[in-house]
Amino acid sequence: MARRKLVVGNWKMHGLGSDFVQVEEIESAAAGHPQVDVGLCVPSTLIERASRAVPGLPIGAQDVHPADKGAHTGCLSTAMLADAGASMVIVGHSERREAQHETDEEVRAKAEAALGAGLLTIVCVGESLDVREAGDAVPTVEGQLDASIPRDADATRLAVAYEPIWAIGTGRIPTVEDIGQMHSALRQRLCVAYGDSGEAIRILYGGSVKGSNAAEIFAVEDVDGALVGGASLKAADFIPIIEAAALKA
């Protein structure tokens, strides 16, 4: 099935108002490649400013609380993100699973809240190096996916990001065979969970994606785009990844 490529930048805890020139350059590059969906998940402090400054570029958040409102100091609800101008959100990033001890159940609750609010929702999964070296990567990540994805999905608004933890920020990536094996396993799990609409859900690869390796990653079956950390901070690094996706669109 033909799925539109989706390339999303995750700025993590990077970015100040002074970085807006990057956001603007990314927006104009994205506009030049309308066959690719491009988005930028910026720190919460920048969501409103970014969505006003670049209305043509979907802006997202990097986390959300599952509750509508309440006594949750420091947290933001789906309605708050949407109110600030966000149209997408990442949930279950491994940095939050590790540092904030987020469980699959919490990630699923966040994903259900975000999808319910109409946000494009990117659910992250991925194995540690120990798990990969033990040969358990596929069953481990399948289990994570099964437990983290929403019970009912709107396939047009749900995406999954496979991000091996050992590939994040390290410059190391799995072989294209390993990426293909994982993405095809995840596709099968999505079809078990949602039937035919599992075919429409985009599965992104994340972990040390750069302009130099994007084309070979996008050529892998069932790779429908990328979730990009470090190389999304500068337009000059991010734009070649958008261009590589456009060539495969």
Q: Quick check: 208 binds ligand 13P (CB under 6 A)?
A: yes
Q: Is 148 exposed, middle or buried (0-12, 13-18, 19+ CB in 10 A)?
A: buried
Q: Return the number of the residue (30 or 194) whose C-beta is nearest ligand 13P.
A: 30
What is the rounded CA–CA span in Å between residue 60 and residue 161?
Answer: 15
Q: Which residue has the tokens 């989706």?
A: 6
Q: Quick check: 229 binds ligand 13P (CB under 6 A)?
A: yes
**Dmax (CA) of the chain:** 47
27, 65, 163, 183: which is the annotated catalytic residue?
Answer: 163
What is the rounded CA–CA span in Å between residue 25 and residue 28?
Answer: 5
Q: Quick check: 230 binds ligand 13P (CB under 6 A)?
A: yes
Q: Quick check: 169 binds ligand 13P (CB under 6 A)?
A: yes
- 227 phi, psi to nearest 5 deg: -110, 120
Q: Is 108 exposed, middle or buried (0-12, 13-18, 19+ CB in 10 A)?
A: buried
Which of residues 3, 6, 10, 160 is near ligand 13P by CB under 6 A? 10
Say which amino acid occupies 136: D
DSSP E strands in 81-224: the ranges are: 88-91, 120-125, 158-162, 202-206
Q: Return the number of the residue (22 or 208) whose C-beta is nearest ligand 13P.
A: 208
Q: Which residue has the tokens 């749900």?
A: 158
x/- mask, ligand 13P, residues 95-134, rule CB under 6 A, reads ----------------------------------------
Q: Quick check: 204 binds ligand 13P (CB under 6 A)?
A: no
Contact of 181 with 189, CB cutoff 8 Å: no
Q: Quick check: 60 binds ligand 13P (CB under 6 A)?
A: no
Which of residues 228, 239, 241, 242 is near ligand 13P by CB under 6 A? 228
Q: Quick check: 206 binds ligand 13P (CB under 6 A)?
A: yes
What is the rounded CA–CA span in Å between residue 197 and residue 219?
Answer: 22
Which of residues 58, 174, 198, 207 is near ligand 13P by CB under 6 A? 207
Asked if 65 is an active-site residue, the reply is no
Our measurement of the distance from residue 1's CA atom to the centroid of its chain's CA atoms, rounded to an integer in Å, reads 20
Which residue number has the CB closest to ligand 13P?
229
What is the rounded CA–CA span in Å between residue 32 and residue 79?
Answer: 31
33, 93, 112, 127: which is the annotated catalytic residue?
Answer: 93
Shortest Å, Cβ 207 to ligand 13P: 5
Q: Return the number of the residue (209 or 244) whose C-beta is nearest ligand 13P.
A: 209
Asked if 72 is an active-site residue, the reply is no
What is the token pair recorded at 175?
């072989």
x/- mask, ligand 13P, residues 61-100, rule CB under 6 A, reads --------------------------------x-------
User: Which residues would be at the binding site for ligand 13P (CB under 6 A)?
Assistant: 10, 93, 163, 168-169, 206-209, 227-231
Q: What residues act catalytically?
A: 93, 163
